Amino acid sequence: MPRDPHYDILFEPVTIGPVTARNRFYQVPHCNGMGRAHPTAMAVMRGIKAEGGWAVVCTEQCDIHVTTDTEREIRLWDDRDIPYLARMADQVHEHGALAGLELTHMGYYTSNYIGREIPMAPTARPVHGIEPFHARTMDRTDIANYRRWHRNAALRGKRAGFDIVYVYAGHSLSLCMHFLSARHNQRTDEYGGPVENRMRLLREVIEDTKDAVGDTCGVAVRLAVNELVGPKGITPEEDGRAVIEMLGELPDLWDVNVSEWENDSETSRFADEGFQEKHISFVKSLTSKPVVGVGRYTSPDRMVSLIRNGVLDMIGAARPSIADPFLPKKIEEGRPEDIRECIGCNMCVGVSNQPTYLRCTQNPTQGEEWRRGWHPEVMPPRDSDERVLVIGAGPAGLEAARGLGQRGYEVMLAEAGRETGGRVARECRLPGLAAWARVRDWRMTQLHKLPNVEIYMDSEMTADSVRETGANLVAVATGARWRRDGSGRYHDFPLACGSANIVTPDDIMEGATLEGPVVVFDDDHYYMGGVIAEKLVQDGHEVSIVTPESAVSAWTAYTLEYERIQTRMRELGVARHLGFAVKNIEWSRVEIEDVYTGDCQWIACRSVVMVTAQDPVDDLYHALMADEAANREAGIRRVSRIGDCYGPGPIAAAVFGGYRYARELGEAIGDDVPWKQEIVELAAVV
């Protein structure tokens, strides 16, 4: 279908200094957990985005010198780093996009574990986080060195084939930003004091970069215009505005956002699409250069209005490009309903923070483009006439049925309930998780386009009814249920207490009414404990949360939600018993024990919510496997478990399990590594 002319504006070219972007879709720099450790996986992942229509595809942050080191990202420390970055640029060019390179020196934000260099800062201070190191004050020689290192890295980037080279002043991840922000810069020389002085280094580095590579490369500045810490940091009214007013015409493009990363990549639980607009909308009025901004944009109408209203010139995206590398193509081809919209869960951020292969809840092929050869849009056609029965229409079952249908298999999808979506349908009704319904909605849209997939609702399957379907392959995707007995990470064995006033998140999502006060025992540590506490407060209960960890939802430190969740718990008045576990439950009180000393205390409580562990709902699978002869007689060649029924976990794992089933039809894993590995070439020992 031709694209809707309303969207034509999104496909206008944009000039970025000496280079031209073919349209307004711009993949801003983002981490991926693969970087230099898995460079070909990283390069191919970027190339697929170019194939999907993005006009600019950028790297993650790239360390310019040994005095700024992280293991997980890319580097241009010397010429030996050029080839793998050239591979990325080549992959991007192959599909007609521009390749962008985000250079940085992280200053105090890194502890330099690899090279053991003392970190540097405008003004001496402890390094970021809780690491036991300090950064030293940079003197004039350090500043001159830094400028030279940046220039050298820019020249290497040009040799690697990049079209856009960044000067980075965002996320508190760069010296240029540290110099700009008064809270990091208390110098008294020409680089400190008034904002003109604090932006001196930024100006110099932009000039250096333009001078070094500006003849063939666009020079972009990524600038945090709001640190969201009030007047002690950069604000859109003061320093952020001053930079654009004074340097607005110097670079070829402004990529503007809010700092730190927690603020730039807010989850949908805490911020809606377009959440940065109010911070960055002033920029365009102060510069004639193209302006890029982000805000988890997935709606093409919203994108058009951003351009028409003069907020942005290019639509920046990290997460929307991860969830759907083909987002621009789908708009261009007149099928925006096919966009696999980011749900704003930050699983991608969570795993790249580990750091390991990027993964995405919505896009199971993310990170697998090279090593497993998975393409986000293309599936191999079916190579057999098997009829496949998928049981359960949660994320795993929906994705399996969709993928099998795309391949051309004849598929029956049987769901016991009256709605599809499984856990997603339930969880999206919890506070802040509405956008998670997109996991179901996108798959249902796709399934409705597949005539070879039949969906049977209200169809609770038994071993006998499965054998009557005529299916040759059966995928059991019947999900998991939260445990009621308190066992999990802290308690190896079930707690010996009655269950009269004990409920699970499943009960609450299914509408159980509770008597308060309520204790939530969170031994899961991802989102569920905190979200359930929030819902119970909304329902009018007095709520305490008991967790063996030192914070509520501790794993969300990886998804960047940790601080907001702690704040939310405090704002809601949730009593927090951190470093404690539930030990005994009586009718009107609960005994909790200090996990370090074993000291106990009682707290008042009429209901306990156990958020500890989940058990697979696999009785149907076992019933089928109990009589394999009957299966054979019925023509069933293989029965497989997928998703939470096989191993409970995040939604991303269930979607991945469903997709994998669709590609591999439940083939058992063999003795060999089932994906390509990139192993470092050994150097000589001496």
H, E, C per residue of 252-289 = CEEEEEECCHHHHCCCCCCCCCCCCHHHHCCHHHHCCC
Q: Considering only residues 49, 319, 568, 641, which one is a binding residue for ligand SF4 as defined by CB under 6 A?
A: 319
Query: 3-class SS at 576?
Result: strand
Contact 455, 578 (CB under 8 A): no
Binding partner of 185, given ligand SF4, ligand ADP, none, CB within 5-8 angstroms per partner class: none
Contact between 394 and ligand ADP per CB under 6 A: yes
Contact between 643 and ligand ADP per CB under 6 A: yes
- Candidates 254-262, 263-271, 392-400, 676-684: pick the segment binding ligand ADP (CB under 6 A): 392-400
What span, in angstroms and rounded, lies between the C-alpha atoms of 481 and 321?
32
Binding partner of 477, given ligand SF4, ligand ADP, none, CB within 5-8 angstroms per partner class: ligand ADP
Compose the 353-372 pattern: x for residues touching ligand SF4 by CB under 6 A, - for all others.
-------xxx----------
CA dihedral 459, 460, 465, 468 (to 10 degrees): 30
Contact between 415 and ligand ADP per CB under 6 A: yes
* CA 193 vs CA 167, 187, 243, 311: distances in Å: 22, 7, 15, 31
Which C-beta is closer to ligand SF4: that of 283 or that of 323?
323
User: What does 112-124 look like in DSSP terms, one character per residue?
Assistant: -TTT-PPPEESS-
Contact between 422 and ligand ADP per CB under 6 A: yes
Is residue 171 part of the annotated active site? The answer reads: yes
Binding partner of 611, given ligand SF4, ligand ADP, none, CB within 5-8 angstroms per partner class: none
CA 539 to chain CA centroid, nearest Å: 30
Please give the sequence-ordered ranges of beta strands (E in DSSP) within 299-386, or none if there are none: 314-317
Is residue 168 part of the annotated active site? The answer reads: yes
Contact between 294 and ligand SF4 per CB under 6 A: no
Q: Number of residues in contact with ligand SF4, rule: CB under 6 A?
A: 13
What span, in angstroms and rounded, lies between the C-alpha atoms of 671 and 682?
25
Contact 591, 600 (CB under 8 A): yes
Contact between 205 and ligand SF4 per CB under 6 A: no
Binding partner of 566, given ligand SF4, ligand ADP, none, CB within 5-8 angstroms per partner class: none
Which C-beta is closer to ligand SF4: that of 323 or that of 620?
323
Q: Considering only residues 153, 242, 286, 323, which one is a binding residue for ligand SF4 as defined by CB under 6 A?
A: 323
Strand ranges of the sheet holding 125-126, from the earlier edge strand across to the other edge = 120-121, 134-137, 125-126
Contact between 666 and ligand ADP per CB under 6 A: no
Amino acid 381 reads: P
Is residue 176 part of the annotated active site? The answer reads: no
Q: Considering only residues 10, 219, 306, 345, which one is a binding residue for ligand SF4 as defined by CB under 6 A?
A: 345
Binding partner of 347, given ligand ADP, ligand SF4, none, CB within 5-8 angstroms per partner class: ligand SF4
CA 546 to chain CA centroid, nearest Å: 28
Which C-beta is closer to ligand SF4: that of 27 or that of 362?
362
Active-site annotation holder among 84, 146, 166, 168: 168
Site residues for ligand ADP, 455-474, by CB under 6 A, read 459-461
Active-site annotation holder among 264, 313, 522, 523: 264
Residue that has been written with the tokens 């002085």 in this structure: 197
Q: Which residues of 264-280 are buried (b: 16+ CB within 10 A; e: fewer)?
A: bbbbbbbbebbbbbebb
Which C-beta is closer to ligand ADP: that of 305 or that of 462?
462
Binding partner of 48, given ligand SF4, ligand ADP, none, CB within 5-8 angstroms per partner class: none
Is residue 31 part of the annotated active site? The answer reads: yes
Binding partner of 343, given ligand SF4, ligand ADP, none, CB within 5-8 angstroms per partner class: ligand SF4
What span, in angstroms and rounded, lies between the C-alpha atoms of 248 and 283?
9
- Quote the tokens at residue 519: 């204790």
CA 125 to chain CA centroid, nearest Å: 30
Contact between 654 and ligand ADP per CB under 6 A: yes
Please list the active-site residues: 31, 168, 171, 264
Applying CB under 6 A, the residues found at the interface with ligand SF4 are 319, 322-323, 342-348, 360-362
